[in-house]
Amino acid sequence: MLKENIKQLRKSKGLSQEELAIKLNVVRQTISKWEQGLSVPDSEMLITLSEVLETPVSTLLGENISESKVDDLKAISEKLEIINLQLLQRKNAKRKMIHWMLISLCAIIIIIFISLIY
Protein backbone atom coordinates (compact mmCIF):
# COMPACT_ATOMS: atom_id res chain seq x y z
CA MET A 1 0.00 0.00 0.00
CA LEU A 2 2.61 2.55 1.07
CA LYS A 3 4.84 1.84 -1.91
CA GLU A 4 2.00 2.23 -4.43
CA ASN A 5 0.77 5.40 -2.74
CA ILE A 6 4.20 7.03 -2.75
CA LYS A 7 4.67 6.23 -6.42
CA GLN A 8 1.19 7.33 -7.45
CA LEU A 9 1.31 10.58 -5.47
CA ARG A 10 4.79 11.38 -6.78
CA LYS A 11 3.63 10.88 -10.35
CA SER A 12 0.43 12.86 -9.79
CA LYS A 13 2.58 15.79 -8.62
CA GLY A 14 4.69 15.44 -11.77
CA LEU A 15 7.84 14.63 -9.84
CA SER A 16 10.56 12.23 -10.89
CA GLN A 17 12.24 10.05 -8.28
CA GLU A 18 15.25 12.35 -8.52
CA GLU A 19 13.18 15.50 -7.96
CA LEU A 20 11.41 13.98 -4.96
CA ALA A 21 14.72 12.80 -3.56
CA ILE A 22 16.13 16.33 -3.79
CA LYS A 23 13.11 17.75 -1.97
CA LEU A 24 13.51 15.15 0.79
CA ASN A 25 17.30 15.46 0.93
CA VAL A 26 17.83 11.77 0.18
CA VAL A 27 19.31 9.89 -2.77
CA ARG A 28 17.15 8.71 -5.67
CA GLN A 29 17.79 5.07 -4.75
CA THR A 30 15.99 5.65 -1.44
CA ILE A 31 12.84 6.69 -3.29
CA SER A 32 13.23 3.71 -5.59
CA LYS A 33 13.51 1.33 -2.61
CA TRP A 34 10.38 2.82 -1.00
CA GLU A 35 8.43 2.43 -4.23
CA GLN A 36 9.63 -1.16 -4.64
CA GLY A 37 8.74 -1.99 -1.05
CA LEU A 38 12.35 -2.87 -0.19
CA SER A 39 12.40 -0.31 2.63
CA VAL A 40 10.09 2.19 4.29
CA PRO A 41 10.62 5.77 5.44
CA ASP A 42 10.98 6.36 9.18
CA SER A 43 8.32 8.36 11.00
CA GLU A 44 10.04 11.74 10.59
CA MET A 45 10.64 11.11 6.89
CA LEU A 46 7.03 9.98 6.49
CA ILE A 47 5.85 13.34 7.85
CA THR A 48 8.23 15.22 5.55
CA LEU A 49 7.13 13.07 2.63
CA SER A 50 3.49 13.83 3.34
CA GLU A 51 4.28 17.57 3.41
CA VAL A 52 6.18 17.45 0.12
CA LEU A 53 3.44 15.40 -1.56
CA GLU A 54 0.78 17.61 0.07
CA THR A 55 -1.20 14.69 1.44
CA PRO A 56 -1.97 13.42 4.94
CA VAL A 57 0.21 10.68 6.42
CA SER A 58 -2.94 8.58 6.77
CA THR A 59 -3.38 8.68 3.00
CA LEU A 60 0.19 7.52 2.51
CA LEU A 61 -0.36 4.66 4.94
CA GLY A 62 -3.93 3.92 3.88
CA GLU A 63 -5.32 1.85 1.10
CA ASN A 64 -4.39 2.35 -2.51
CA ILE A 65 -5.31 5.72 -3.89
CA SER A 66 -8.07 5.11 -6.35
CA GLU A 67 -7.34 5.94 -9.93
CA SER A 68 -10.98 6.91 -10.27
CA LYS A 69 -9.92 10.46 -9.42
CA VAL A 70 -7.89 10.52 -12.62
CA ASP A 71 -10.82 8.96 -14.49
CA ASP A 72 -13.18 11.52 -12.93
CA LEU A 73 -10.92 14.34 -14.09
CA LYS A 74 -10.81 12.89 -17.59
CA ALA A 75 -14.60 12.59 -17.67
CA ILE A 76 -15.02 16.16 -16.43
CA SER A 77 -12.53 17.49 -18.97
CA GLU A 78 -14.31 15.60 -21.77
CA LYS A 79 -17.66 17.05 -20.69
CA LEU A 80 -16.16 20.54 -20.54
CA GLU A 81 -14.73 20.06 -24.01
CA ILE A 82 -18.17 19.06 -25.33
CA ILE A 83 -19.78 22.06 -23.64
CA ASN A 84 -17.11 24.37 -25.10
CA LEU A 85 -17.73 22.95 -28.57
CA GLN A 86 -21.49 23.44 -28.17
CA LEU A 87 -20.97 27.03 -27.03
CA LEU A 88 -18.68 27.65 -29.99
CA GLN A 89 -21.31 26.26 -32.37
CA ARG A 90 -23.98 28.50 -30.85
CA LYS A 91 -21.69 31.50 -31.08
CA ASN A 92 -20.92 30.76 -34.73
CA ALA A 93 -24.62 30.27 -35.50
CA LYS A 94 -25.47 33.62 -33.89
CA ARG A 95 -22.63 35.26 -35.79
CA LYS A 96 -23.92 33.89 -39.10
CA MET A 97 -27.46 34.98 -38.31
CA ILE A 98 -26.33 38.52 -37.45
CA HIS A 99 -24.17 38.58 -40.58
CA TRP A 100 -27.11 37.67 -42.85
CA MET A 101 -29.44 40.04 -41.03
CA LEU A 102 -27.00 42.91 -41.63
CA ILE A 103 -26.65 41.95 -45.30
CA SER A 104 -30.46 41.84 -45.60
CA LEU A 105 -30.79 45.19 -43.87
CA CYS A 106 -28.23 46.73 -46.20
CA ALA A 107 -30.06 45.30 -49.20
CA ILE A 108 -33.38 46.70 -47.95
CA ILE A 109 -31.79 50.11 -47.34
CA ILE A 110 -30.31 50.10 -50.86
CA ILE A 111 -33.67 49.11 -52.38
CA ILE A 112 -35.46 51.86 -50.44
CA PHE A 113 -32.79 54.39 -51.43
CA ILE A 114 -33.03 53.42 -55.12
CA SER A 115 -36.82 53.58 -55.04
CA LEU A 116 -36.66 57.04 -53.45
CA ILE A 117 -34.31 58.27 -56.13
CA TYR A 118 -36.72 57.24 -58.91
- Domain residue ranges in the chain: 2-61, 66-118
Written as one letter, the residue type at 118 is Y
Rg (CA), the chain: 30
Q: How far apart are CA 11 and CA 69, in angstroms?
A: 14
Per residue in 84-116, pLDDT (tens digit) is 888 899 999 999 999 999 999 999 999 999 999
Residue 117 has a CB neighbour count (10 Å cut-off) of: 6
Task: Just give the CATH number of 2-61.
Answer: 1.10.260.40
Q: Mean pLDDT of successive 10-residue segments in the chain (118 residues)? A: 88 92 94 90 87 87 60 75 88 95 96 91
- Position 67 scores a pLDDT of 54
